[in-house]
Amino acid sequence: MVARSLVKSYGERVAVDGIDFEVEPATCFGFLGPNGAGKTTTMKMIYGLATVGRGELSVLGLDARTKRRQIKSRLGVVPQETNLDGQVTVLENLLVQASYFGIERQTAEARARELLDFSRLADRSAEQITSLSGGMKRRLLVARALVNEPEMVVLDEPTTGLDPQARLAVWRSLETLKRRGVTLLLTTHYMEEAARLCDRLVIMDEGSIVAEGEPGALVREHVGREVLELRVSDECDAEELVASVDGRLEGHDFTEDALMLYAPDAEELLEAIDHERYPTESALVRRATLEDVFLRLTGRSLRE
Amino acid sequence: MTDVLPSPRHAARVVGRNALVFSKLWKGALLPQFLDPLFYLLALGFGLGTYVATINGQDYRDFLAPGLIASAAMWSAAFECTYNVYFRMNETRLYDAILATPVEVQDLVAGDLTWSAIRSTIYGTVFLVVVTAFGLIHSPWAILLPPLVALGGLCMSVIAYTFTALIPRIDLYSYFFTLGITPMFLFSGIFFPFDELPGFAEVIAWFTPLYHSVEISRAMATGPGPMVLVHAAWLIAVTAALFVVPVRAVRRRLVA
Q: Please check whether residue B213 is in contact with residue B235, taking contact to mean a CB–CB distance below 8 angstroms.
A: yes
A62 touches chain B (CB under 8 A): no
d(CA B256, CA B247): 13
A278/A172 same-domain check = no
Confirm whether B71 is domain-assigned. Answer: yes
The helix (H) or strand (E) run that includes residue B183 is: helix B182-187
Confirm whether B1 is domain-assigned. Answer: no
What's the one-letter identity of residue A44? K
Per residue, the 3-state secondary structure of A72-94, as one string, reads HHCEEEECCCCCCCCCCEHHHHH
Confirm whether B213 is domain-assigned. Answer: yes
Give the list of residues 6+ apart from residue B112 with CB closer than 8 angstroms, or none: B14, B18, B80, B81, B85, B157, B161
Alpha-carbon B37 to chain mean position = 13
pLDDT for the residue B31: 80
Of A56, A60, A66, whose CA–CA distance to A20 is shortest?
A: A56
A125 touches chain B (CB under 8 A): no
Confirm whether A298 is domain-assigned. Answer: no
- Domain around B171: 8-254
Q: Please check whether residue B216 is in contact with residue B69, taking contact to mean a CB–CB distance below 8 angstroms.
A: no
pLDDT for the residue A293: 86
Of A63, A51, A49, whose CA–CA distance to A2 is shortest?
A: A63
For B60-115, the pLDDT digits (tens) are 999 999 999 999 999 999 999 999 999 999 999 999 999 999 999 999 999 999 99
DSSP label at residue A276: T
| First-to-last C-alpha distance (Å) of chain B | 18
Confirm whether A244 is domain-assigned. Answer: yes
Q: Based on the structure, what is the number of domains in chain A?
A: 2
Chain A contact set for B13 (CB, 8 A): 99-100, 102
Confirm whether B2 is domain-assigned. Answer: no
Q: Is B237 exposed, middle or buried (0-12, 13-18, 19+ CB in 10 A)?
A: exposed
Q: Is the pLDDT score of B19 beyond 70?
A: yes
A66 touches chain B (CB under 8 A): no
Of A53, A50, A2, whose CA–CA distance to A24 is shortest?
A: A2
A22/A36 same-domain check = yes
Domain stop point among A164, A187, A219: A219
A145/A14 same-domain check = yes
d(CA A43, CA A154): 7
For B:58-117, CB contacts with A below 8 A are 92-94, 96-104
A148/A283 same-domain check = no
Q: Based on the structure, what is the number of domains in chain B?
A: 1
A146/A245 same-domain check = no
Confirm whether A259 is domain-assigned. Answer: yes
Q: Which of B9, B21, B99 sits opposite A48 (nearest CB)?
A: B99
Nearest chain B residue to A86 by CA distance is B92
Confirm whether B228 is domain-assigned. Answer: yes
A29/A167 same-domain check = yes
Angle between helices B209-222 and B145-166 (to 10 degrees): 170
Alpha-carbon B171 to chain mean position = 21
> What are residue A3's DSSP bridge partners?
A21, A57
What's the one-letter identity of residue B21? V
Q: Is B83 exposed, middle or buried (0-12, 13-18, 19+ CB in 10 A)?
A: middle
Domain stop point among A193, A219, A245: A219
CB–CB contact A48 B255 (8 Å) = yes
For B230-239, the pLDDT digits (tens) are 999 999 999 9
The ipTM assigned to this model is 0.92
pLDDT in tens, chain A (304 residues): 999 999 999 999 999 999 999 999 999 999 998 888 999 999 999 999 999 999 999 999 999 999 999 999 999 999 999 999 999 999 999 999 999 999 999 999 999 999 999 999 999 999 999 999 999 999 999 999 999 999 999 999 998 888 888 899 889 999 999 999 999 999 988 888 998 999 999 999 999 999 999 998 998 888 888 999 998 877 788 888 888 888 888 888 887 778 889 988 888 898 888 888 888 888 999 988 888 888 788 775 544 4
Give the DSSP letter string of B64-127: HHHHHHHHHHHHHHHHIIIIIHHIIIIIS-HHHHHHTTT--HHHHHHHHHHHHHHHHHHHHHHH
A127 touches chain B (CB under 8 A): no
A214/A229 same-domain check = no
Of A84, A61, A202, A187, whose CA–CA distance to A144 is shortest?
A: A84
A69–chain B nearest CA distance, Å: 5
CATH number for the domain including A23?
3.40.50.300
By three-state DSSP, how is residue A116 classified?
helix
Q: Please check whether residue B239 is in contact with residue B154, taking contact to mean a CB–CB distance below 8 angstroms.
A: yes
Of B194, B238, B243, B241, whose CA–CA distance to B214 is shortest?
A: B194
d(CA B252, CA B248): 6
Chain A contact set for B10 (CB, 8 A): 100
CB–CB contact A87 B13 (8 Å) = no
A135/A169 same-domain check = yes
A69 touches chain B (CB under 8 A): yes
A215/A230 same-domain check = no
A109/A54 same-domain check = yes
Confirm whether A116 is domain-assigned. Answer: yes
Confirm whether A18 is domain-assigned. Answer: yes
d(CA B92, CA B142): 40
What's the one-letter identity of residue A275? H
Secondary structure E strands in chain B: 54-55, 58-59
Give the list of residues 6+ apart from residue A120 with CB closer than 8 angstroms, or none: A139, A169
pLDDT for the residue B1: 60
Confirm whether A79 is domain-assigned. Answer: yes
Confirm whether B204 is domain-assigned. Answer: yes
Q: Which of A10, A79, A101 sits opposite B102 (nearest CB)?
A: A101
- Domain around A258: 224-287
CATH number for the domain including A270?
3.30.70.980
**Distance of CA A248 to CAs A213, A262, A264, A272, A283, Å?**
26, 9, 8, 9, 17
Gyration radius of chain A's alpha carbons: 23
DSSP label at residue A303: P
Confirm whether A299 is domain-assigned. Answer: no
Confirm whether B141 is domain-assigned. Answer: yes
A231/A268 same-domain check = yes
A229/A184 same-domain check = no
Confirm whether A250 is domain-assigned. Answer: yes
B254 touches chain A (CB under 8 A): yes
Mean pLDDT calculated for residue range B116-142: 96
